[in-house]
Amino acid sequence: MDTETRYRFRCTLTFGDIYGQIIAWLVILLISLAASLALMGARQPIFALATVGLILVLSLPFLLFAFVTTLLNHIEFQSVEAVEATNAAATRASRSSAVAAG
């Protein structure tokens, strides 16, 4: 009994899938910089640096979690035999339509 099956690894992730996440994180960065500039102007530089650091430290794990889960949702494993059968059927269909047209 031959149970060895070969699989093809395929990633269907595109830039559009993560574009919204990048924009949201950039908005968070801009808000943190605005808050730090406001605190710098109030003569509290320690609080300004702490605010930026806190926002970055708290937002990075969420960003990484979003990236990783998006990536994992776009990973596919296809058996090689199924892919080859699909390709062969498509080739036969295109040949038969070419013969009928010609």
Cβ density class 26-48: b for 16+ within 10 Å, e for less: eebeeebeebbeebeeeeeeeeb
Q: With respect to residue 1, please indicate whether it lies within any of the assigned structural domains.
A: no
pTM of the model: 0.57
Interacting residues of 32 by C-beta distance below 8 A, sequence separation 6+: 51, 52, 55, 56
Q: How far is CA 34 from the centre of its chain?
A: 28
Residue 82: predicted pLDDT: 62
Residues 63, 65, 68, 73: is their CA dihedral positive or negative?
Answer: negative
Q: With respect to residue 2, please indicate whether it lies within any of the assigned structural domains.
A: no
Residue 101: predicted pLDDT: 60
Is residue 60's pLDDT more than 60? yes
Q: With respect to residue 4, please indicate whether it lies within any of the assigned structural domains.
A: no
CA proximity to 38, closest of 48, 29, 28: 48
Q: With respect to residue 41, please indicate whether it lies within any of the assigned structural domains.
A: yes
Query: What percent of the chain has pLDDT above 90?
Result: 1
**Tokens at residue 26, please?**
């950039």
Is residue 99's pLDDT more than 80? no
Residue 29: predicted pLDDT: 85
Q: Give me the number of domains the chain comprises.
A: 1
Q: With respect to residue 3, please indicate whether it lies within any of the assigned structural domains.
A: no
Question: Domain containing 58: what range?
Answer: 9-101
Q: Looking at beta carbons, which pairs linking 38-41 to residues 24 or more positions away fall under 8 Å?
A: none
Q: With respect to residue 74, please indicate whether it lies within any of the assigned structural domains.
A: yes
